[in-house]
Structure 1
Amino acid sequence: MKKDILFLCQFFYPEYNSSATLPFDTAKYLAEHGFSVGALCGYPKEYNNDCNVPMKEIKDGVDIQRIKYIQLKRGSKIGRLINYFSFTFKAMLHIGKLKNYKSVIVYSNPPILPLVAVMANVLFKTKIVFVSYDVYPEVAYASKTLNPGSLISKVMNKLNHQLFKRVAKVISLTDEMKDFLLENRKELTEDKVVTIPNWAHEKIIVPSKEAYDRFGYNENQFIVSYFGNMGTCQDMETLMEAVEKLRNDENIKFLFVGHGNKVDSIREKIRKDQLKNIQLLDFLTGKDFEQAVAISSCCVVSLEKGLKGTCAPSKYYSYLQGGKPILGIVEEGSYLEEEITKEKLGYVTYNQNSDLLVKHIKHMSENKSECLEIGKRVTQVYMNNYDIEICLNKYVRIIELV
């Protein structure tokens, strides 16, 4: 008798990045609702504090099997490619495990991993549910990390053709991404694509003196925070220009928390220009992250131009859950611009317009009562649209129908 669903992903429990916590949340929820659930995932390294993680375990009803693979630093393109191919190759060696499941949920990261699901569909008729966190190879084209005529690009296009003609369901994170997929993946029909956004699950805490002291701020300062990846897809340049232009304003401070291939250049700019109004910290988890969000006066979500429809920043949902006014550095016409503007969640700046960003930050810092009202709307939007129960119930309905 086949089990119901296998999660196939590079990151999983006990790793603490969103690429691990979101699949594990989903797996747990499905197990709680009576499905037999397994996971085939990578052995944790970079996003894990536990040195004694077993190769196999059952956690919250999820039967987890982990794979050891080459894990180089993700800051370089070569390192990421080696990691992707190494994990996918090792997962292929375990393809027999997929024979025991009716369906597989596979994620777009790493982008070649769906090859394993396609092979399982060919060999065992395993149904495929594909979760599109990013749309490859277009997101790589837009971020200029991949050339359209390259060998990897050709491989990705052939893989996509095989994947999308076989999927039972595709999960897009936004309606904008759904429209992009339907327009650019001719194998898909509208009934196969379902929008399920990401969610957040940190505890919401009231900012305390301990939290301000922890990060070296005080409650009278206006703290502009950025959390998450600072990589190729994020417009950090516009944000850093605003930091520089506000360097002499003692009331406004910046807090950057996360990782990515732009971190080193940001750190160097802070050192070279002697910017005293910004802190740059590594990835935070648990109470540390919750405290950092709590003391933030507003939070920044940023995407480079040309990425519309191809990706969705996961930390946006943490900002909403935390009730924080949003500053968006986005492309004109994007879903982020539409939602932030329509719901009055904060203010929007287009790419390369740091002057407008500075204007928005100054306005918010001088109108804190307005920020409190924005925060109430932000919380309501999260509860109405992105609460974890709302999103996970959609996954239950999909698995019931597959």
Structure 2
Amino acid sequence: MNITIISNHYYPEDSGIGLYSTGMAEFLAKKHIVKVIAATPYYPQWKIYPEYDKKGLFSTEIVNDVEIFRFKQFTPAIPTFKGRIFQMIHFFIGSFINIFKIKKNDIVIVVMPFTISAILGWLVKTFRGGKLWIHVQDFEFDAAFETGISKKIGILPSVVFKIELFMFNRADFTSTISNGMLNKLESKTNTKKYFFPNWIDHSMINTDRAKPSPLFDSSKFNVLYSGNIGAKQDWDFFVDFVSACQEMNHVQIYLIGEGAKRKEVVESLKQFQNCKYYPPVRYEELNDLLCNADLHVLFQKNAVVDTVMPSKILGMMASAKPSIVTGNEYSEVRHNLEISEGGFYFHQDTKLHEIMGVLKNLIENPEQSTIMGDKARKFVIEKYSIESVLSQFQKDIENS
């Protein structure tokens, strides 16, 4: 098959959507001809990577048998809602030229965000034939309104949701990464839908392969948040948590990542000696980082339900360490943690003292941490291994 993938995020971005779009393309390329239309890499720093910044507006490269057509899009230093909209439009304009570099197509897979990329996919289908598959990694407009990035008033929300609806109804197939998001997709379109979750390469995230991380203090109980420092997380609660942990001299907290809220959050943490910030580690170092933490934390805003399923959860669980997560009562993350018994999930009006109680209990009962971590890892290997998820997806598109 000739497969075209349109994804704003792609290699060498090695976290979030870029990681999964790359993995999908390279897996399919083992059997099919795969071409990718992508943006110039910029995430999570919100700054075009130096090695690509020197290139022209358009560039082409081949990586692991995948041919990649790129356009150097506008990238806002501060990703406001309007800035993101402008970035989407600029990417669309440049990528419109790139779609004519596709000569044959049997199926075009559009990864959302960007929503506007679905129009590009529809044009590929129109000009080159084949079918259109829209895969939703993030309901970007819903997430923007739920997290307060933009207000759900005025003409703009009406326009963007109409565009979203129009494109969903032009697709032959749609898919998304969690059951909650699948339900949301059900409310938006009548097209045929598939469950296509993110996956974990448990050979890469594996305690048996982990070496000591130079970032951690081995004499302390190390609590880690690693990932995007953005609007979906509850950073006020995180700061309160760090403050409450000050009296526990044996606890050290680490914030590792990049994102739109990074400067603001890091500034608010400077007053605390028990919290250290580091920029993202390379993917090759991620295993050592995740597996050497004693506890993972993820504090999400209660308003965010399942417009997005945090992919970092899979890595946290695969590291065989327990997690403490907060968020909405109906989140799929809650379901996964409770079913696996691999961590603690708090929702609605979570009291800080409850989480502090859990933390103290884990410190005093290390055997409980070991048992919970093992259960978490077993769960993600059974449900979200890269082999089973991508093999099933390949079968689905071949039979579509």
* TM-score relative to the length of structure 1: 0.89
Counterpart of 1:265 in structure 2: which amino acid?
A: E
Q: Number of aligned pairs?
A: 390
* Partner Cα distance (2:381, 2:128) in 1: 40
Change in 2 beyond 3 A, CA 1:147/1:222: same
For residues 93 and 136 of structure 2, the distance between their equivalents in structure 1, rounded to whole angstroms, comes to 21
Confirm or deny: 8 A CA contact 1:8 1:106 kept in the other structure.
Answer: yes
Identify the residue that residue 14 of structure 1 maps to in structure 2: 12
Residue 157 of structure 1 deviates from its aligned partner by 1.8
- Tell me the distance in 2 between the aligned counterparts of 1:38 and 1:376: 39
**Shift, 1:387, TM fit:** 0.7
- The answer for the alignment partner of 2:332 in structure 1 is 335
User: Given the alignment, which residue of 263, 275, 279 partners 1:278?
Assistant: 275
Counterpart of 1:97 (choices 80, 94, 101) is 101
Match of 2:359 in 1: 361
Distance in 2 between the 1:44 and 1:112 partners? 18
Number of the residue aligned with 1:5: 3
Give the aligned partner of residue 61 of structure 2.
Answer: 57
370-379 or 68-77, which deviates more: 68-77
- How far the C-alpha of 1:399 sits from its partner, in A, is 1.4
Tell me if the contact between 2:69 and 2:98 (Cα under 8 Å) persists in the aligned partners. Answer: no
User: Distance between the aligned counterparts of 2:393 and 2:77, measured in 1?
Assistant: 33
Distance 1:362 1:48 in 2: 41
Q: Distance in 1 between matches of 2:216 and 2:101?
A: 50
Paired with 1:349 and 1:113, the residues of 2 have a C-alpha distance of: 36
43-52 vs 336-345, which moves further: 43-52
Aligned match of 2:161: 157
> Structure 1 segments of 4 or more deviating over 6 A?
none
- 2:198: which partner in 1? 198
Classify 1:180/1:282 alpha carbon distance in 2 versus 1 (closer, same or farther; 3 Å). Answer: same
1:172-206 deviation per Cα after TM superposition (whole angstroms, max 9, x unaligned): 11111111211x21x325xx111121123344245
2: CA distance between counterparts of 1:293 and 1:27?
26
Mark the CA change 1:169 to 1:384 in structure 2 (over 3 Å): closer, same or farther: same
| 1:267 alignment counterpart | 266
- How many angstroms apart in 1 are the aligned matches of 2:225 and 2:349? 17
Give me the whole-angstrom Cα distance separating, in 1, the residues matched to 2:210 and 2:2: 45
CA contact (8 A) 1:98 1:104 kept: no
Q: What residue in structure 2 maps to residue 319 of structure 1?
A: 316
Change (3 A) 1:16 1:370: same
Residue of structure 1 aligned with 2:295, choices 295, 298, 302: 298
Q: Which residue identity does 1:368 align to in structure 2?
A: P
- Is residue 73 from structure 1 mapped to residue 70 from structure 2 by the alignment? no
Amino acid at match of 2:190: L
Q: Identity across aligned pairs (percent)?
A: 19
Structure 2 residue aligned with 1:83:
87
Say if 2:176 and 2:195, in contact at 8 Å, map to a contact too.
yes
Between the aligned partners of 1:208 and 1:93, the Cα distance in structure 2 is 45
Specify whether residues 391 and 47 from structure 1 end up closer, same or farther in structure 2 by C-alpha distance, changes over 3 A only.
farther
Distance change (3 Å), C-alpha of 1:335 and 1:150: same
Structure 1 residue 105, shift from structure 2 partner: 0.9
Superposed CA RMSD: 2.3
Distance 1:255 1:98, change over 3 A: same
Distance apart, 1:318 and its partner CA? 0.9
Q: Helix, strand or coil for the counterpart of 1:316?
A: helix
Structure 2 unaligned residues grouped into runs of 5+: none
CA-CA distance at 1:210 after TM superposition: 4.7
**Alpha-carbon shift at residue 84 of structure 1 (Å):** 2.1
Q: Which amino acid aligns with 1:67?
A: F
The CA distance in 1 between the partners of 2:349 and 2:221, in whole Å, is: 23
Q: State the distance in 2 between where 1:349 and 1:47 align.
A: 37
Residue 17 of structure 1, CA deviation: 2.6
Judge which range, 310-319 or 74-83, deviates more.
74-83
Q: Distance in 2 between matches of 1:49 and 1:371?
A: 41
Q: What is the DSSP-based 3-state SS (H/G/I as helix, E as strand, rest coil) of the residue aligned with 2:246?
A: coil
Describe the superposition over 1:32-68 as per-residue Cα deviations: whole angstroms up to 9, x where unpaired: 1x21111111223447574588922322221222222
Residues 136 and 20 of structure 1, relative CA distance in 2, 3 Å threshold: closer
Per-residue deviation, 1:247: 0.9
Q: Which amino acid aligns with 2:110?
A: V
Name the structure 2 match of 1:25.
23
How far apart in 2 are the matches of 1:59 and 1:270?
40
Tell me what 1:114 maps to.
118
Contact map agreement 2:145 2:152 (CA 8 A) in 1: yes
